């Protein structure tokens, strides 16, 4: 938020220096043990001397890196001999952007980064040619950049030798060799440890799996998960065996995925694009959308069997991995098996068919129509994604069937019968966080498709999966950085400035479009009853009208378009009513926590996802109620069966590795499984 000198917080420079020392103390304590005297020497002070100007800059920039800001060289005074007599280095957010006279006005100007920050350090040359700090201002009028985004600050962009080596040795040409997407993300560290339930377990499937694994896959999975467990104790994985004790289904989720679910797990999409009947490994992803409207991965699975028992195992496993928290809405394809399993696992969750997956299935079932027409894709897309009124949907659907001679198509007939499960017009009241548009713009499964092929071993898939995951997470890190270090240039509107200070940039742009439509709207009063008022709102050049009921006692408003209910962002119709009632700021209850810049802060309402189960330690979880009690008892009583299962797994998976992937250690891989739970979630029995 832009704040000039009159608006910035009042803090004396001495207090600012004390704050800076405290900030550095906190950062340094997380890595090393440095005494307070050393910390004090790392904070600039008037009178400090340096051999030359460059060393003074490096010192200030190093200090800035610890505190969380970028440095820019500002004014200087030079002698006739071109010797620098004084130099001022400032925070990069110092000053304000100058408006260029005569410059063409742009519709979407670049966000503001300069907000008049007063932080600076001035050095002056001494009689012996050294440079002494003459002035130091520690106070800033903005929050520092988070430690995880420090490398994105312009003056802090320095690659280490290790990072350079990693960039040069990148093997995958499909993934950019940019270090920040992989190495820097991992080097930044996963700062949140959820202390979830025990890290992994396996359960059995009372039948044979539908699709066989590739030779070596079982051993590769065990080896990979063992290494991940060693590097991150909160990494979660689970195996399911079939009736022959063969590895059938696999689930895994690292700590970042589980943490993301704690913040953004209100809406989940189960992506089963690559099923057992498709070519390659059957990848299943639990997806969500974060506060930047980017796709997040909450968990992943290789589901070699699609029976009811497998889906029940998958959802029960996901529940354990995410602390038992239940999403508000889950979107899947049209699988009846998955539907029944969801009802059993999450009875209170709203289940709908994902429009994106409906469209992907249409591409498979109606491929000949797509290939034979240039307009069918657009017409179908309107039915699946766009129509908001039932009359428009019915007309569009009927016109499409007639135009492409599809009235007798059985697949479309069944799809139409289930339209209340997927068509937006019938689900405006269901909160989906607009995930369908995020899925349309970025399909993770399509990026992974190549490595699901049997021609690549499972190790190659896991390696590529990590790179794709790193790339997505780096995009989120960049979005976090830009949200914290810039502010959009907007008209002098109180509500727009309020929204810009709270929403992430991409969500603010959605709100801004609603705001612009409200400006072009007309409103009609439809009567009052006590404190309740009814209004009719129409947007210029848009068909139809919407009705808003406003309650003056608490400034609440409900619109017939249901945009807020489905997306969590207030619509132009309600904004028009608020303006008509002379309410110039949006009530706080309409700023949904999941869309805010601080959505991942512990102070937001989404933290409830983290609290349900996150506070349980492994020991307290095992001693509490539920199937983990059976786990403790069955580990002893069923040792014979368990040993047989481990031996079978050794044969099917690790012997395959000997044929294909040399270098595994079979005993260690299987013993890791033995160390964790040996119970069946489905019936409580042990191996």
Q: How confident is the model at residue 154 (pLDDT cuts 50, 70, 90)?
A: confident
In the prediction, which pLDDT does 613 show?
36
Q: Do 255 and 401 meet the contact criterion of CB atoms below 8 Å apart? A: no
What ranges in 404-539 are assigned the alpha helix state H? 410-417, 435-441, 444-448, 458-485, 494-502, 505-519
* Environment class of 361 (CB within 10 Å of its CB; exposed 0-12, middle 13-18, buried 19+): middle
Kindly indicate the confidence band of residue 26, based on its pLDDT and cuts at 50, 70 and 90: low
The average confidence (pLDDT) of the chain is 76
Q: What is the pLDDT of residue 295?
A: 93
Tell me the pLDDT tens digit for each residue of 445-495: 677 777 777 777 788 888 888 888 998 899 999 999 999 888 888 888 999
Q: Does residue 676 have a pLDDT over 50?
A: no
Query: Quick one: pLDDT band at residue 214, thresholds 50, 70, 90?
Result: low
Contact between 140 and 119 under an 8 Å Cβ cutoff? The reply is yes
User: Would the pLDDT of 106 be above 70?
Assistant: no
Cα dihedral 679→680→686→687 (10° resolution): -100
Dihedral (Cα; 25, 26, 27, 33), 10-degree rounding: 60
pLDDT, one tens digit per residue, over 643-658 is 333 334 444 443 333 3
- DSSP codes, 129-141: S-EEEEEEE---S
The confidence score (pLDDT) of residue 404 equals 95
Q: Which residues contact 200 (CB under 8 A, 6 or more apart)?
A: 225, 229, 236, 237, 238, 239, 673, 676, 677
pLDDT higher than 70, residue 525: yes
- Tell me the pLDDT tens digit for each residue of 534-543: 999 999 888 7
Identify which of 479, 514, 445 has the alpha carbon closest to the alpha carbon of residue 600.
479
d(CA 671, CA 681): 21
Edge-to-edge strands of the sheet including 521-529?
521-529, 532-539, 546-551, 556-559
CA distance 157 to 437: 33
**pLDDT of 21:** 58
Percent residues over pLDDT 90 in the chain:
43
What is residue 472's predicted lDDT score, i.e. its pLDDT?
Answer: 87
> pLDDT, tens digit, for every residue of 227-256?
888 888 889 999 888 777 777 889 999 999
pLDDT at 112: 80
Per-residue pLDDT band for 306 (boundaries 50, 70, 90) equals: confident
Condensed to tens digits (0 to 9), the pLDDT of residues 40-66 reads 678 899 999 999 999 999 999 999 988
pTM (global) more than 0.85: no
How confident is the model at residue 570, as a pLDDT? Answer: 97
Over range 494-512, report the average pLDDT: 95
Cross-strand partners of 551? 532, 556
**DSSP codes joined into one string, 30-76:** TT----HHHHHHTS--TT-EESSHHHHHHHHHHHHHHHT--EEEEEE
Determine the average pLDDT of the residues in 331-339.
85
Kindly tell me if the per-residue pLDDT of 379 is higher than 90. Answer: yes
Closest by Cα among 282, 330, 276, 338 to 313 = 338
Q: Domain spans of the chain?
A: 13-99+107-163, 198-328+462-486+616-687, 494-608
């Amino acid at each position: 938020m832009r704040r000039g000198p009159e608006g910035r917080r009042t803090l004396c420079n001495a207090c600012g220096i004390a704050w800076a020392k405290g900030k550095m103390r906190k950062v340094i304590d997380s890595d090393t043990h440095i005494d307070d005297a050393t910390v004090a020497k790392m904070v600039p002070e008037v009178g400090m001397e340096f051999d030359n100007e460059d060393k003074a800059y490096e010192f200030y920039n190093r200090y800035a890196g610890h505190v969380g800001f970028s440095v820019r060289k500002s004014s200087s005074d030079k002698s006739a001999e071109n010797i620098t007599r004084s130099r001022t280095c400032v925070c990069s957010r110092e000053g304000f952007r100058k408006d260029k006279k005569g410059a063409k006005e742009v519709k979407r100007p670049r966000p503001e980064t300069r907000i008049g920050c007063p932080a600076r350090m001035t050095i002056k040359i001494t009689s012996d040619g050294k440079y002494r700090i003459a002035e130091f201002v520690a106070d800033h009028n903005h929050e520092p950049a988070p430690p995880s985004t420090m490398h994105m600050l312009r003056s802090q962009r320095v690659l280490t030798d290790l990072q350079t080596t990693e960039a040069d040795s990148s093997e995958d040409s499909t993934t950019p060799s940019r270090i920040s997407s992989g190495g820097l993300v991992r080097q930044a560290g996963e700062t949140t440890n959820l202390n979830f339930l025990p890290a992994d377990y396996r359960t059995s499937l009372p039948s044979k799996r539908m699709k066989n694994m590739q030779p070596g896959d079982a051993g590769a999975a065990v080896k990979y998960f063992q290494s991940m467990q060693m590097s991150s104790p909160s990494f979660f994985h689970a195996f399911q065996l079939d009736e022959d004790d063969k590895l059938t289904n696999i689930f895994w989720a690292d700590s970042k995925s589980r943490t993301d679910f704690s913040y953004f797990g209100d809406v989940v999409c189960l992506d089963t694009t690559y099923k057992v009947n498709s070519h390659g490994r059957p990848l299943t992803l639990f997806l969500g959308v974060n506060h930047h409207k980017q796709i997040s991965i909450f968990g992943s699975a290789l589901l070699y069997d699609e029976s009811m028992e497998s889906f029940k195992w998958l959802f029960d496993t996901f529940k354990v991995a995410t602390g038992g928290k239940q999403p508000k809405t889950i979107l899947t394809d049209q699988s009846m098996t998955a539907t029944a399993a969801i009802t059993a696992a999450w009875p209170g969750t709203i289940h709908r068919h994902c429009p994106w997956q409906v469209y992907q299935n249409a591409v498979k079932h109606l491929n000949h129509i797509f290939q034979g027409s240039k307009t069918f894709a657009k017409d179908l897309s309107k039915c699946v994604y766009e129509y908001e009124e039932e009359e428009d949907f019915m007309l569009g659907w009927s016109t499409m069937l007639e135009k492409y001679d599809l009235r007798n198509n059985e697949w479309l007939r069944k799809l139409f019968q289930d339209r209340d499960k997927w068509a937006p017009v019938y689900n405006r009241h269901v909160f989906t966080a607009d995930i369908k548009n995020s899925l349309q713009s970025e399909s993770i499964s399509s990026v992974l498709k190549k490595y699901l092929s049997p021609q690549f071993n499972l190790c190659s898939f896991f390696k590529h999966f990590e790179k794709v995951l790193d790339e997505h997470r780096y995009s989120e890190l960049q979005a976090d950085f830009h949200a914290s270090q810039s502010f959009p240039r907007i008209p002098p509107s109180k509500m727009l400035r309020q929204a810009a200070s709270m929403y992430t940039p991409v969500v603010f742009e959605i709100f801004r479009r609603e705001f612009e439509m409200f400006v072009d709207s007309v409103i009609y009063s439809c009567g009052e009853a006590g404190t309740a008022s009814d209004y009719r709102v129409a947007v210029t050049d848009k068909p139809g009208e919407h009705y808003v009921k406003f309650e003056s006692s608490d400034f609440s408003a409900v619109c017939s378009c249901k945009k807020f209910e489905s997306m969590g962002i207030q619509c132009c119709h309600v904004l028009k009513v608020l303006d008509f009632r002379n309410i110039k700021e949006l009530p706080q209850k309409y700023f949904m926590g999941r869309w805010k810049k601080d959505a991942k802060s512990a102070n937001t309402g989404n933290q409830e996802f983290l609290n349900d189960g996150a506070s349980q330690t492994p020991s307290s979880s095992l001693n509490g109620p539920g199937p983990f009690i059976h786990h403790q008892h069955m580990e002893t009583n069923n040792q014979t069966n368990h040993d047989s299962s481990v031996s079978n797994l050794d044969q099917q998976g690790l012997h395959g590795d000997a044929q294909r992937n040399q270098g595994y250690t079979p005993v260690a891989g299987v013993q890791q499984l033995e160390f964790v739970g040996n119970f069946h979630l489905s019936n409580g029995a042990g191996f």
